[in-house]
Amino acid sequence: MAYIGVPPADRTSGARVRDEFTADGTQVCFQLSQEVPGSFESNIIAVVENVIQEPVSAYTVVDTITVGLTSISGTFTKNETITGGTSAATGKVIQVNTSNIVIRVVTGTFQAAETITGGSSSATATVSTLTTNIGRGLNFTGTPTNGTKVYVLHQASATYNLKPAAGSVTPESLSENLRTFTVDKFTATASQTAFTLSATPVSVKSILVFVDGVMQTETTHYTLSGTTLTMDSGLAVGQQVTVVHLGFSTVSRTAFTDSSVTTAMIADGAITADKIANGTIIAADVADGAITTAKLNSTIDLSGKTITYRSIVAGDIASNAITNAKIADAAVGIAELSATGTKDATTFLRGDNTFAVVAVTPTAVSSQANTATDYFALPSGTTAQRPASPAAGHQRYNTTLTAMEYYNGTNWTTAFLAPYSVEYLIVAGGGAGGGNNGGGGGAGGVVSSTFAILPATNYTVTVGAAGASSSNSRGGDGGSSSVFGVTAIGGGGGGAETSLNGGAGGSGGGGGYPSGTAGSATSGQGFTGGTALSSGPPYNAGGGGGASAVGGNANNPNGGNGGAGTNSYSTWATATSTGASGYYAGGGGGSMENGTSHGTGGAGGGGAGGSASGTAGTVNTGGGGGGAANGGISGANGGSGIVILRYTGTQRGAGGTIVTTGGYTYHTFTSSGTYTA
């Protein structure tokens, strides 16, 4: 075939090659072993589990990029999304190698020297190089199932570069057959729709179709498939069909004009010694730096030639001709330097061209401005790793306290401490049972929440005392417990025959016989007590209120039971070995005289009522004391309160009895004290 301008340059894919992959159920893009010519999907055959896939609809051929990496931290994973720190470009990882990864770009354009980050692995690295792999990516529209086999067969094919130089083709350069269009003419038979053309048009838009001289519209009146022209409806007998082919299929060659061939038009290594006549190129014809390694053939025949060696002298080098770019990395060693002094691993080159030892002392770096914008590293260690003999002004980071600290000459003091959260359980002291037909004592109030505390701060902890009993009168109220400014109110004392009504408190005391009313409770901290019988015998009193239930009313024949305490903090009780079977703050039982049974104590340390003396509330549970039946007998004391603090992790503060278990550290105060954060 003739050609216009430059002769055709053929590229072929070579012999058939097969790539084989095993799908992992997530990967949709695979790196091919060689380029698909023209990135045309039809130049490969893709097979999934022995089923040939349809090009374009089932898969496409895309470009991939090999990203050279330095400063790698972590391990990138296949099919994760990476993001450029500067460009914000994104890409999918296809292949992970030791010093590079292969990706398919999703959005944006990655840049050299930027940091990339893996979306799922969190690995990071610096981009050193970006190499585009044209037509090397096989991208499926769906995701092949895990474990399926994917085969890719590269077909032998070729592409042709027939583009002439700009402006080099003129009408006179074309032969006569290139100046006219190909024309096909047909006479239709009855209802004929298909006509065979003499040549294959490039597309349906590269022909003009006329029926009896009237131009037809493509796709509306006709379609094209290869050389077959199909009309939208059958023609009548004798109608004339004319098809004009736009363009031409034969080309001719024209000569190059002077200076029309540029360096970019010459393939690397294309100019060999055989292409140059002897003596035609002299030194004056070659511009400085014009002949690069890429312009030379890989093999230069110097047979019969003489190469004369001559040392380069100063006169051969133009002023300032040798720049940093002309000196290879690491080409200048210590031996090439003229500096005086000892040249070894302990010395540095000074500005006066001498080698000297640089001694870095505290004095040398003190009183110097630090212009860094990232960080200054301090010594770091646990509390146990503090220096044995510190001096005032020493600073370090305490990993136990997660805080900066300094030595003030006497103690280590923390600085810049952030608050941390502490949960607290406050139980007040339980009220005492009443004497002489007395009601049960009310349980101490219960309060629990969280508080943000400041490290290196002292907080006062108050534990409420047990309510004290007395004969023939209402039992004493329990003492209040408090911490962080939060107070749990002590339990109300149980009523007696001489002071009938139960006392108010965290939980209310039970009413004394006869007709004693229940003591009221503090909202959110406990429940009311129970009431006494109005007449007897029997002479039975009401039970004290508990943290989770009201005290029982007296009946015939029994005294009122103490209200149940709370087991919402059973985990705390188990961890600190406190409470009563996981409960806190049970109400005391009411007394019974001439009846069947006295009131039982509520779960959580509540004491039972008596037919004579009652039972005291359990120590450090906040339980109410039991009421006493007969005159002259004191009601039972209540149980003392308790304060428990806990926070996640290992010990950070001091005070109370300390135990670390279940991911928490507990500080238990069974008496008043101080918590140091």
Q: Is residue 264 part of a domain?
A: no
Token readout for 346 is 């302990």
Residue 98 and residue 204 in one domain: no
Contact 626, 609 (CB under 8 A): yes
Q: Using CA atoms, how far apart are residues 506 and 488, in angstroms rounded to an integer?
A: 7
Token readout for 604 is 């959580």
pLDDT score at 471: 82
Q: Using CA atoms, how far apart are residues 445 and 427, in angstroms rounded to an integer?
A: 6
Q: Using CA atoms, how far apart are residues 472 and 492, in angstroms rounded to an integer?
A: 16
Residue 22 and residue 98 in one domain: yes
Q: Is residue 278 part of a domain?
A: no
Lowest-confidence range among 70-74, 295-299, 500-504, 665-669?
295-299
Q: Is residue 590 part of a domain?
A: yes
Residue 583 and residue 642 in one domain: yes
Q: Is residue 566 part of a domain?
A: yes
Residue 659 and residue 557 in one domain: yes
Residues 105-124: what's their mean pLDDT? 92
Q: Using CA atoms, how far apart are residues 521 and 478, in angstroms rounded to an integer?
A: 13
pLDDT tens string 366-385: 777 888 888 888 899 999 99
Query: Is the bond leading into 514 cis (omega within 30 degrees of zero)?
Result: yes
Pairing between strand 214-215 and 222-225? unpaired
Q: Give the CA count within 13 Å in the CB-facing half-sphere of 188.
A: 22
pLDDT tens string 412-469: 887 766 789 999 999 999 999 999 899 999 999 999 999 999 888 899 999 999 999 9
Check pLDDT > 80 for residue 248: no
Residue 146 and residue 197 in one domain: no
Residues 85-104: what's their mean pLDDT? 92
Residues 549-566: what's their mean pLDDT? 96
pLDDT tens string 213-233: 889 998 899 999 999 999 999
Which run of H or E residues covers position 90?
strand 90-96
pLDDT score at 251: 43
Which of 156-160, 495-499, 600-604 ranks highest by mean pLDDT? Answer: 600-604
Q: CB under 8 Å to 115, separation ≥6 — which residues?
A: 84, 85, 86, 124, 125, 126, 127
pLDDT score at 604: 97
The single-letter code of the amino acid at 64 is T
Q: Where are the beta strands (DSSP E) in 301-439?
A: 347-349, 355-357, 380-381, 395-398, 403-407, 412-415, 420-427
Contact 518, 530 (CB under 8 A): yes
The single-letter DSSP state of residue 27 is: -
Q: Using CA atoms, how far apart are residues 666 and 586, in angstroms rounded to an integer?
A: 23
Residue 582 and residue 567 in one domain: yes
Residue 440 and residue 563 in one domain: yes
Check pLDDT > 50 for residue 6: no
**How many CB atoms are located within 10 Å of the residue 210 CB?**
14
Q: CB under 8 Å to 50, separation ≥6 — which residues?
A: 149
Confidence grade of residue 253 (pLDDT, cut at 50, 70, 90): very low
Q: Is residue 263 part of a domain?
A: no
Which stretches within 177-269 are classed as H helix? none
Token readout for 40 is 């045309």
Confidence grade of residue 252 (pLDDT, cut at 50, 70, 90): very low
Check pLDDT > 60 for residue 264: yes
Q: Is residue 558 part of a domain?
A: yes
Number of domains making up the chain: 5
pLDDT score at 182: 87
**Burial class of residue 2 in the structure, from the number of CB atoms within 10 Å of its CB (0-12 exposed, 13-18 middle, 19+ buried):** exposed
Q: Is residue 5 part of a domain?
A: no
Residue 448 and residue 548 in one domain: yes
Check pLDDT > 70 for residue 9: no
Q: Using CA atoms, how far apart are residues 199 and 472, in angstroms rounded to an integer?
A: 127
Q: Is residue 6 part of a domain?
A: no
Q: Using CA atoms, how far apart are residues 183 and 198, in angstroms rounded to an integer?
A: 9
Q: Which of 161, 192, 207 is the last residue of a domain?
A: 161
pTM of the model: 0.46
Contact 433, 614 (CB under 8 A): yes
pLDDT score at 164: 65
pLDDT score at 1: 36
Residue, of 519 and 163, whose pLDDT is higher: 519
Residue 612 and residue 479 in one domain: yes
Range of the domain at 231: 180-245
Note the Cα 573 to chain centre separation in Å: 38
Lowest-confidence range among 75-84, 131-140, 351-360, 567-576?
351-360
Residue 471 and residue 512 in one domain: yes
Residue 345 and residue 213 in one domain: no
Residues 57-86: what's their mean pLDDT? 92
Check pLDDT > 80 for residue 361: no
pLDDT score at 2: 40
Pairing between strand 380-381 and 395-398? parallel
Query: Is the bond leading into 144 cis (omega within 30 degrees of zero)?
Result: no
Residue in this structure with the two tokens 């070995």, named with its chain if needed: 577
CA dihedral of residues 103, 109, 114, 120 (deg, nearest 10): -40
Q: Which of 192, 215, 245 is the last residue of a domain?
A: 245
Q: Which of 194, 229, 245 is the last residue of a domain?
A: 245
Residue 93 and residue 153 in one domain: yes
**How many CB atoms are located within 10 Å of the residue 12 CB?**
10
